[in-house]
Amino acid sequence: MTAFLYALTVLIWGTTWIAIKHQLGPVAPEASIAYRFALAGLVLAGALAVTGRLKAIPWRHQPFVLLQALCLFSCNFACFYLATRSIPSGIVSVVFSAATVFNVANAYLFHRRRPAPRVLAGAVIGLLGIACLFRDTLVSTALDRDTAIGLGLALLGTWFFSAGNLVSARNQRHGLPVATVNAWGMLYGAALVATVAALRGVPFGFDPSPAYLGALLYLAIPGSVIGFTAYLTVVHRIGPEKAAYMTVLFPVVALTISVFAEGYRVTPLAGLGFALVLAGNAVVFAPRLPRFAQRKGRPEAACDA
């Protein structure tokens, strides 16, 4: 089940970048985010209520649900949407891959949990692969003021996402159901974004075009209801450091789709990048090598000899 949820999240979130691109237009990014999570929260809460699985969250845990909403369902997406105004979405997805590094750093900073060497090695290999895949895009992007702002917003959004992983892990350790927390968190996130947007005078228009509506439905249902529930369940099962490696695989899925849908040509360097990303994944999840049993500080084989 963990492997299935891992693969499902990679497939869904690897395609959401395309849907986000279709939401950039006449509708303000803040409005699109509020619509997305309001719809997702209502759908998820409704489904849980119908099946009798929507639980009340004790007041002592409400601040952490709100904190999860800030990190995963509002601030991070506001940064990503605004970043795509200044830099290509492909660059945003590359920066998002740094969540593997942020998760390791945040786990050590807040919990003093040292990462396993193979997790670090796998993350480095995977990020090198991403650099190879997007080398041409990275080189062709001019580093001016707008680009610097876009990169900064993308990095800030990635940090929020990483911090949200740790908050979610904390909520699950205290016995809060993933789906229930997500339902309330998405509604909180939508309300927070809408409130801030209203205070800033952001207009809440709507685009009835099929492209915008299709993107909104895809981002709300598969992208949010299914994607976040699957991802945060994996975070609980294998830890935020390993789960974050998914963010390295998202751009690979996006580029694979581009090969068939947009005529993207795989260069030798890109092929090397694909191989490195897969190798990094193998390193992160490879089973541990068995240790030789020792007796009084000496290997068994030496004792038998």
Q: What is the 3-state secondary structure (H, E, C) of the chain?
A: CHHHHHHHHHHHHHHHHHHHHHHCCCCCHHHHHHHHHHHHHHHHHHHHHHCCCCCCCCHHHHHHHHHHHHHHCCHHHHHHHHHCCCCCHHHHHHHHCCHHHHHHHHHHHHHCCCCCHHHHHHHHHHHHHHHHHCHHHHHHCCCCHHHHHHHHHHHHHHHHHHHHHHHHHHHHHCCCCHHHHHHHHHHHHHHHHHHHHHHCCCCCCCCCCHHHHHHHHHHHHHHHHHHHHHHHHHHHHHCHHHHCCHHHHHHHHHHHHHHHHCCCCCCHHHHHHHHHHHHHHHHHHCCCCCCCCEECCEEHHHHHC
Residues 168-201: tens digit of each pLDDT: 989 999 999 999 999 999 999 999 999 999 999 9
pLDDT at 98: 76
- The answer, yes or no, to whether residue 304 has pLDDT greater than 90, is no
- The answer, yes or no, to whether residue 252 has pLDDT greater than 90, is no
Is the model more confident about 34 or about 282? 34
Residues 256-276: tens digit of each pLDDT: 776 666 555 667 877 787 788
What is the mean pLDDT of the segment spanning 99-110?
Answer: 75
- The answer, yes or no, to whether residue 229 has pLDDT greater than 80, is yes
pLDDT at 137: 64
pLDDT at 238: 84
Q: Does residue 291 lie within any of the structural domains?
A: no
pLDDT at 300: 42
Model confidence band, residue 287 (pLDDT cutoffs 50, 70, 90): low
Quick one: what percent of the chain has pLDDT higher than 90? Answer: 36
Q: Does residue 296 lie within any of the structural domains?
A: no
Q: Does residue 123 lie within any of the structural domains?
A: yes
pLDDT at 184: 95
Model confidence band, residue 41 (pLDDT cutoffs 50, 70, 90): very high
pLDDT at 142: 61
- The answer, yes or no, to whether residue 283 has pLDDT greater than 80, is no
- The answer, yes or no, to whether residue 305 has pLDDT greater than 70, is no
pLDDT at 83: 84
Mean pLDDT of the chain: 81
Count how many domains the chain has.
Answer: 1
pLDDT at 264: 58
What is the mean pLDDT of the segment spanning 125-129?
Answer: 79
Residues 203-227: tens digit of each pLDDT: 888 999 999 999 999 999 999 999 9
Q: Does residue 293 lie within any of the structural domains?
A: no
Q: Does residue 302 lie within any of the structural domains?
A: no
Highest mean pLDDT among 30-44, 147-161, 245-259: 30-44
Q: Does residue 297 lie within any of the structural domains?
A: no
pLDDT at 182: 95
Q: Does residue 304 lie within any of the structural domains?
A: no
Domain range for residue 156? 1-285
Quick one: what percent of the chain has pLDDT higher than 70? Answer: 84
pLDDT at 259: 66
